[in-house]
Every structure is written in C-alpha cells, then in structure tokens.
C-alpha cells in the first residue's frame, strides 16, 4: 500500500498522537481539580479533554517535513468510554496539521493491523509492540525528541527505492 511519488515508492509512516504529536498533560490546566480527581488514573476519559491539548515541541514541523518524504498517517487510539475524544482528535489534526493530514487520521485499538514501514509511538500498548514494521520509541534514550526522530527517518527514507 505504498504510494508513488515522482515514479518512486514512498515508505509508509504512522505517527501516534498522545505523547508523540500531542502534549497530553497540556490539557490539565483547562480541567477543574474536581474532574482531575474524579477521573484520576483515567484522565483520557474526561469529556472534552482532547480539545485543549497543545502540540509537543517540534511535532508540527516534523510532521510536515516527514509527510514530504513518507506516506504519512496519524495512528492513534481513542478512549472507548469517551466518544468526544474521537471528534476532538480529528479537530486537533485539522487545526494543527492542516491540509497535509487531510483524511490521514486512523483511530484504532489494534495498531498491529496497519501495514507499514515505521510507527513512531511512545509506548507498546494497543498492538504497537506487534506492528510489523519498525517501532520507533518516541521519548526513549535513542529517540528523545522530534529532531532525533526526523534525523533517523530521513536517513532511512533512502533505503528500498525512495
């Protein structure tokens, strides 16, 4: 499922949202202390929480840079008990990533079902540990931030026909 770009195949890249593109904790200042206490340990179930999140430093620029090189998708899990998160994630993508991410948001609890070359994720839950391509662990010692991820993926883009 690779796309053609100038007669050459583009590799498929998936990027997680929460903790990778999105700074989840940035929304806490917009939520009452009572709500944070009520939903302690399951903050992603707080109604409307996803609509207040800010991008991680360098995430928007990195997405645009990588989308020029890779067939790039956002691969995220959305809380099952918080349907407002589904629409808020779409609005976030439209607001922060714009046209380059048009119809490129995939919400799933089974990331391993998506075929591709790379997945940038900050954890191994929801099938990320069983992804058939290479899992890039965002926030790890090897990939602590977006500049490290972009450098690595730019080096890897040249392999296999691109």
What is the distance between the alpha carbons of residues 147 and 25, in angstroms, rounded to a whole number? Answer: 21
Let me know if residue 126 belongs to a domain.
Answer: yes
Amino acid 149: pLDDT: 98
pLDDT-derived band at 12, boundaries 50, 70, 90 = very high
Residue 85 has pLDDT above 80, yes or no: yes
Least confident of 24-38, 99-113, 126-140: 24-38
CATH number at residue 80: 3.40.50.1000
What is the distance between the alpha carbons of residues 98 and 143, in angstroms, rounded to a whole number? Answer: 25
Given the DSSP bridges, would you call strands 118-121 and 8-9 parallel, antiparallel or unpaired?
unpaired
C-alpha separations of 38 from 43, 80, 85, 136 in Å: 9, 18, 18, 34
pLDDT-derived band at 160, boundaries 50, 70, 90 = very low
SS3 56: coil
Provide the H-helix boundaries in the chain.
Answer: 33-38, 59-67, 84-96, 146-156
Let me know if residue 152 belongs to a domain.
Answer: yes
Amino acid 91: pLDDT: 92
Let me know if residue 143 belongs to a domain.
Answer: yes
Let me know if residue 61 belongs to a domain.
Answer: yes
Question: Which residues, 6+ apart, have CB-to-CB distance to 102 below 8 Å?
Answer: none
Give, in degrees to the nearest 5, the angle at Cα 52 between 47 and 53. Answer: 115
Residue 39 has pLDDT above 80, yes or no: yes
Let me know if residue 93 belongs to a domain.
Answer: yes
- Give the H or E element holding residue 121: strand 118-121
pLDDT-derived band at 1, boundaries 50, 70, 90 = very low
The total number of structural domains in the chain stands at 1
pLDDT one-digit tens code per residue, 42-83: 888 888 888 889 999 999 999 999 999 999 999 999 888 888
The pLDDT of 83-88, averaged and rounded, is 87
Amino acid 162: pLDDT: 40
Let me know if residue 162 belongs to a domain.
Answer: no
Residue 124 has pLDDT above 80, yes or no: yes
Tell me which residue range forms the domain holding 55: 4-156
Query: Looking at the annotation, which residues are catalytic?
Result: 16, 18
Let me know if residue 161 belongs to a domain.
Answer: no
């Amino acid at each position: 499922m690779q796309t053609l770009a100038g007669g050459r195949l583009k590799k498929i890249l998936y990027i997680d949202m929460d903790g990778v593109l999105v700074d989840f904790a940035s929304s806490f200042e917009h939520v009452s202390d009572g709500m944070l206490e009520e939903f302690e340990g399951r903050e992603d179930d707080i109604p409307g929480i996803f609509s207040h999140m800010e991008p991680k430093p360098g995430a928007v620029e990195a997405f645009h840079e990588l989308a020029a090189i890779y067939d790039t998708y956002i691969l995220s899990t959305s809380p099952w008990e918080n349907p407002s998160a589904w629409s808020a994630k779409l609005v976030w993508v439209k607001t922060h990533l714009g046209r380059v991410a048009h119809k490129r948001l995939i919400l799933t609890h089974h990331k391993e079902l998506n075929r591709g070359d790379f997945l940038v994720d900050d954890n191994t839950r929801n099938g990320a540990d069983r992804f058939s391509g290479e899992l890039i662990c965002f926030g790890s010692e090897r990939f602590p931030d977006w500049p490290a991820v972009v450098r690595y993926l730019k080096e890897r883009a040249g392999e296999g026909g691109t």
